[in-house]
Structure 1
Amino acid sequence: MIKSLLYFLWASLFEIGGGYLIWLWLREGKPFWWGVLGGVALAFYGVIATFQSANFGRVYAAYGGVFIAIAMLWSWKIDGVTPDRYDLIGACLALVSVLIIMFAPRT
């Protein structure tokens, strides 16, 4: 379980970081190579996700919840936008969903 959660964490950092670099390149006028680095980071995200032991659909459905929580954290720590109580409730619900999707006992 810990290994799976670490894969989700790493994947989310590469996806959000890569998307953020592309955002900065296109929206904030940063140099082209920021966009290239963003593309490379997004490719790493795709590779890291394959390390999960579950099937594709389950991994990507659960990853959505991790992405929500990490995006809120990114917004707070990188962009300086403090999440409100509804952001926090939503992120917590998303993380509970991740745990259910990935780790619920199945018959």
Structure 2
Amino acid sequence: MLVLRSIALFVLAALAEIGGAWLVWQGVREHRGWIWIGAGVIALGLYGFVATLQPDANFGRILAAYGGVFVAGSLAWGVVADGYRPDRFDVIGALICLAGVAVIMYAPRG
């Protein structure tokens, strides 16, 4: 059950961080304005809070593992929000990152 909770928190953190960065990008690069930028800043702050809810108490481990989630999530966000089409190397790289997440977070430790 802790693994499922951890995965759900990683997904929520990715939505908040990637979504927040995307909102800031839209506000600045696409000239959508301060409301988009402000919403992005709030989402980025929410990401920082969500990360603290992980069951593991090691900050470095959580952030290192989240890096792999961020890589895969960013590619997925690009597909959904921007029509990006990853090539096979993008997909392979994302899968390698997710395998790293699994090893870092969920390997049995003695």
1:26 aligns with 2:31: no
1:68 aligns with 2:65: no
Match of 1:43 among 22, 42, 45: 45
Matches of 1:35 and 1:59, distance apart in 2: 27
Shift of 1:88: 0.2
Runs of 4+ in 1 over 2 A off after TM superposition: none
Deviation at 1:92, TM superposition (A): 0.3
Unaligned residue ranges in structure 1 (runs of 5+): none
Identity among equivalent positions (%) equals 47
SS at match of 2:9: helix
1:97 corresponds in structure 2 to 100
Q: Partner of 1:3: helix, strand, or coil?
A: helix
Alignment of 1:80 with 2:80, yes or no, is no
Cα distance, 1:68 vs structure 2 = 0.5
How many positions carry a matched residue from both structures? 107
Residue-by-residue CA offset, 1:40-92 (whole Å, 9 max, x unaligned)? 00010000000012210000000000010110101111110111000000000
SS at match of 1:105: coil
Give, as a single letter, the amino acid of the residue that structure 2 aligns with 1:58.
R
CA distance in 2, matches of 1:8, 1:34: 24
- Could you tell me the TM-score, scaled by structure 1's length? 0.98
For the aligned residue pairs, the C-alpha RMSD in angstroms reads 0.6
52, 55, 75: which is aligned to 1:53? 55
Report the CA distance between 1:30 and its aligned residue.
Answer: 0.6
Give the alignment of 1:10-21 within 5 angstroms. 10-21=12-23
Scaled by the length of structure 2, the TM-score of the pair is 0.95
